[in-house]
Chain A
């Protein structure tokens, strides 16, 4: 393999390595700041750690306190439901049948979830797909163009301008 060709593949190896590193860091951030558990998961493996849970507020289960900072509701999972005692901001955004993400801790004694913050449903799949569809075709397009350029360059160098016919 020629030196130019080797350098070309080394360069692309480094580019892919950088993209892979960013993807791994992005996935770690997703697990740390975005991913949430279902009510079923937290009920099966209760712990005192602060976690995010997501699910739909069961119809008719929402009750609000007069202070405007507290509410309780039943959060529906795939098979089971979890009672959430929420105390924090944005209680107005709670609605029956709405999908919400609640941050808080599980009270293992009462088997109820004590929520302290509400956040938007992340829709992270759309983010991941848009980056995949944006970055991967760009890399492929560029790789094929650079490769073609190198092949053409070699071909032009080797092409003969004039060759007399053998008599």
Chain B
């Protein structure tokens, strides 16, 4: 068995446990113990799910980018499984970011959607990830599929800094970065639950990547086994 898969199998349980602890504590702080915001009132609580979704969406694309470069360099099929897994999970987190952001937008800005730089670039990120997954579904040759998908992911990376810095580069409806070189624009009572939830989401992402990578690896292994069986049977 591949070393990376073995390593994932060994550590998966610990990551799962840490995820559960951080998310349980984070949810308790977000929904119960943290105070309402002076300006936004109770709706600030949406931030504790929306921001971690957004941060994890960026992290997932970063991992996909690194995995794609790694694959083109080493041509390791398990790294390709990891990139493929990350893209699927990235779609989930980016969609979650857009949905929770839209729900927050209605009471905060009185609109479900605005074509501002942050929201549009996040939507573009989702479309790139969907295109990546579609490419993988419609190609017949597995090597070509992995290579073209990796190239697409590397080209699509250009959207990542646009998503992150859009709120600094353009003055739009979306608020600027809360943690930047200018300092911290957020009170500690709100920051702590946000950090706990974000760590929980990062751990969740890592755990999901481990599970999904192993899932894809076993799927391919099964296909290979069945293929060999058929070829032997029809000799």
Contacts and interface: CB of A to CB of B under 8 A. Distances in A.
Contacts of B215: 145, 148-149, 152
Greatest chain B CB density within 10 A among A145, A162, A165 is at A145
A156 B222 contact: yes
Contacts of A120: 36, 40-42
Contact of A146 (B45, B211, B218, B228): B211
A60 interface: no
A121 B40 CA distance: 9
Nearest to A14: B20
Overall SS of chain A's interface = helix
Given A138-B204, A142-B211, A124 B42 contact: yes
A10 interface: no
Interface stretch (A22-30, A37-45, A71-79, A80-88): A22-30
A162 B228 CA distance: 7
Interface of B: 20, 24, 27-28, 31-32, 36, 40-43, 45-46, 49-50, 53, 92, 96, 99-100, 103-104, 106-107, 204, 207-208, 211-212, 214-215, 218-219, 221-222, 225-226, 228-229, 232-233
A25 B28 contact: yes
A159 B103 contact: no
Contacts of B214: 149
Interface string A98-141: 00000000000000000000011111101101110111011001
Leading 6 A-B pairs by shortest Cβ distance: A120-B41, A134-B49, A152-B218, A122-B42, A123-B107, A26-B31
Nearest to A131: B49
Contact of B41 (A26, A122, A156, A165): A122
A146 to B, nearest CB: 6
A158 B156 CA distance: 40
B202 to A, nearest CB: 14
Overall SS of chain B's interface = helix
Interface residues of A, number: 40
A29 to B, nearest CB: 5
B197 to A, nearest CB: 10
A34 B41 CA distance: 10
13 contacts: A19-B27, A120-B36, A122-B36, A123-B43, A127-B42, A129-B103, A131-B31, A133-B96, A137-B96, A156-B218, A159-B222, A160-B225, A162-B229
B232 A163 contact: yes
B85 to A, nearest CB: 9
Nearest to B100: A130
B31 A22 contact: yes
B233 to A, nearest CB: 6
A126 B211 contact: no
Nearest to A125: B107
Contacts of B46: 126-127, 130
Greatest chain B CB density within 10 A among A34, A134, A165 is at A134
Nearest to A29: B32
A123 B31 contact: no
Contacts of B222: 152, 155-156, 159
A15 B204 CA distance: 14
Contacts of B103: 126, 129-130, 133
Nearest to B234: A165
